[in-house]
Amino acid sequence: MGLLCKWGLISFIFLFIGINAGAQTPEPPVFDYVSINPDNGNVTVHWKPSPSNWVTGYIIQEELVSGQSFPITTVNITSPPYSHTFSYPKVLTSTVNFNLVATGGVGKESLRTDPSHSTLFSTAVYDSCKSAIVIKWMPYVGWGKNLSGYNVFQIDENLVITKFSDVNSGTLEYTVPGVKQNTNYCFYVSAVRSDGVASFSNKVCISTDAPLPPSYMTGEYTRYSGSNQVDLHFSIDPATVNDAYRLYRSEAGTDNYTLLAELQKAANGTIDYSDPVSANKVYNYKLTYLSKCKIEGVSSIPVNNILLKGKSESMTNKLSWNSFEKWDQGTSEVQVFRSDAGNSQLLRSLSAGETEFSDVIDPQNQLSGDLCYQIKIISNPDANGKKFTSESNLFCVNMTGKVFVPNAFTPDNNGKNDLFKPSFAVLPSKYSFIIYNRYGAKIWQTTNVSEGWNGLLPDGNKALEGTYIYYLKIENGAGKVHEERGNFNLIYP
C-alpha cells in the first residue's frame, strides 16, 4: 500500500509538471546579432536560446516601423548552433529590423526579443570632381552601448578584401580618396561589437564613370554682321553631357588668350556667339571643354575672322585679306564678291590660299553706285559632304570722283577718239562739263553725261589745234560732289 502511494505521488508530480508546461509560454530568446553575407546577400540571424526547456523552435520576424511584426520563417532548432541563414532580398535595398520569438507549439509563443536588431545597409556615391567615393550606411541597431564602431572594406576584381579604416560608432560615412575614373569598385561595411563580434552590410558596387569630353569641337565658320561684329559658329559632339565651354580670344600672331564667355551648347550640339571687335584687327578664337567640375579639358583648333582691306588707285581697287585658319578638311576656294548699289555678284573665284585681288574698273562699264567687296572662303566637303563658308567684312569704295578724262582727242571724224568727254566708274546723278579756250572763254558745255565735245566752236567752225581747259562737276545719289579742272590737247592728225 505504501509502495502504491509512492508511485501515485510521483505520477501526480510529472502530470502536474506536464500540465503546467502545456499551459505556460516560453521565455524569449536573446537576440545576439544579424548579419548579411556581402557575397550573396543572404541574411544570418544569431541568438541565444530561450531558458525554457520545452521550446520546439524559433520564429524569425520582421518588425515594421509601426512596431508590428510579421513572421518570415519558423526554424525547429533546439540545440546549438542557434542561427539561421535565409534569403531576404529586402536587406539589399534598405535596412530591415528583425526580432525573434520562441515557440512551444501553436499558441505558445514567447514575447518577441527586445531590442530588435537592424541590418546594415550601405550605399556609395562617386564624386568625380574630387576623385573620391563616399560610402554611407545606416547604423546597426541592437547592441546599444556595446557598439564600438565600424570597418569599411573593399573587394577588388581579384576578390582581395582590403580593410580601409576603423570608424567610430558615431560616424556613418567614409570617403575613399584617389579612385580612378572608369573603374568598378565594390565595398561593404561591418559593425563591430565590444567583444569583437561583427555584423556585415550588403555589398555595394559603383562604377566611376566619368563623362567623356567631346569627340570633336569644330569652328565651322566666322562671319561679319555689320562692320564691327564677328559671328562665330562651332559644332560640338552632341552626345557630351554635363558640359560647358569657355570661349577664348587672342589677337592674331599672339598666344595671349583672354576669356570672352562661358557657354552652353544647344541641343543639336552647336554654339553661336557674336563678338564686337575692332574694325582693323584679326582675332583667333578657340573653344575649351569645361567639365561639370569646372576643370578645363580639350580645346578646338583656333579659327579667325577674315579682315578685308583695300585701297583705290585711279580706276583700280586693290584688295587684300588674311586667310582663314583652319578646317580639318582644308580650303576649296576663295570667292571675291562685288556689289553695285546693293546688287552682289561673284566677281572671281581664286585658288585656296590667295589673299590679294585687284579689280580694274572698265570706264566703259559704267556702274550705278559705290562699290563694296566681300571675301568668302569655302571649305572642302567634310566627312558628311558638308561645306562651310567664312565671310569677311564689307570693304566699300566711294566711286564718286573715279573719273577718267583723256589728255587729248582727234576730232577728224574717223570714228576713233572723235569726242572729248570723261568716263565714269559710277554714273553721276548730276553732271556739268564745260570747255574753255586758253584765254578762259567758255566755248562749249553740257549736262548730258553721254554727250562729248566734237571740236566745233559755237559758230560751227573747227577749233584750232592746241591746248584747251575743261571743268567737270559731278554729284552722286548720296549728294557727294566731285570737281576737277585740267588741260587737254586738240590734235588734227
What would the pLDDT profile of 411-464 be if each residue is shown by its tens digit? 999 989 999 999 876 778 789 999 999 999 999 999 998 899 999 999 999 999
Alpha-carbon Rg of the chain, whole angstroms?
49
Average pLDDT over residues 304-313: 92
Higher pLDDT, 400 or 397: 397
Average pLDDT over residues 84-104: 97
Which of 348, 403, 394 is closest to 371 using CA atoms? 394
Q: How far apart are the first and last CA of the chain?
A: 185
Is residue 287 within 8 Å of residue 247, measured between CB atoms?
yes
Residues 335, 293 share a domain: no
Average pLDDT over residues 267-271: 95
Residues 422, 486 share a domain: yes
Assigned domain for 425 exists: yes
**pLDDT score for 5:** 41
Assigned domain for 15 exists: no
pLDDT at 191 over 70: yes
Q: Which domain holds residue 337?
A: 314-397
Percent of the chain with pLDDT over 90: 72
Percent of the chain with pLDDT over 70: 92
Domain boundary among 118, 152, 171: 118
Assigned domain for 54 exists: yes
Residues 30, 114 share a domain: yes
Domain boundary among 207, 228, 254: 207
Residues 188, 141 share a domain: yes
Assigned domain for 72 exists: yes
Tell me the per-residue pLDDT of 6-65, one tens digit each, with 9 for 90 and over.
444 444 433 334 444 455 889 999 999 999 999 999 999 999 999 999 999 999 999 998
Is residue 470 within 8 Å of residue 488, measured between CB atoms?
yes
Residues 427, 474 share a domain: yes
Domain boundary among 78, 99, 118: 118
**pLDDT score for 78:** 87
Other CB atoms within 10 A of residue 388 CB = 21
Average pLDDT, the chain: 90
Residues 170, 222 share a domain: no
Residues 6+ apart with CB under 8 A from 400: 370, 426, 428, 474, 475, 476, 478, 480, 481, 482
Residues 195, 156 share a domain: yes
Assigned domain for 436 exists: yes
Residues 334, 259 share a domain: no
Tell me the per-residue pLDDT of 340-352, one tens digit each, with 9 for 90 and over.
767 889 999 999 9
Range list of β-strands (E), 294-382: 296-299, 303-304, 308-313, 316-321, 331-340, 343-351, 356-360, 371-379
Assigned domain for 111 exists: yes
pLDDT at 143 over 70: yes
**pLDDT score for 20:** 45
Assigned domain for 417 exists: yes
**pLDDT score for 218:** 93
**pLDDT score for 9:** 40
Q: For residue 259, give the 3-state DSSP assignment.
A: strand
Q: What CATH number did the domain enclosing 333 receive?
A: 2.60.40
Residues 441, 461 share a domain: yes
Average pLDDT over residues 160-168: 80
Average pLDDT over residues 457-479: 90
Q: Rounded to whole angstroms, what are the CA distances from 280 to 227, 309, 389?
A: 10, 8, 21
Residues 482, 423 share a domain: yes
Assigned domain for 18 exists: no
pLDDT at 336 over 50: yes
Residues 167, 101 share a domain: no
**Domain count across the chain:** 5
Higher pLDDT, 285 or 22: 285
Per-residue pLDDT band at 368 (split at 50, 70, 90): low
Please report the DSSP string for 13-79 in residue order: HHHHHHHHHHHSPPPP-EEEEEEE-TTT--EEEEEE--S-TT--EEEEEEEPTTS-EEEEEEE---S
Q: What CATH number did the domain enclosing 81 receive?
A: 2.60.40.10
Residues 100, 28 share a domain: yes
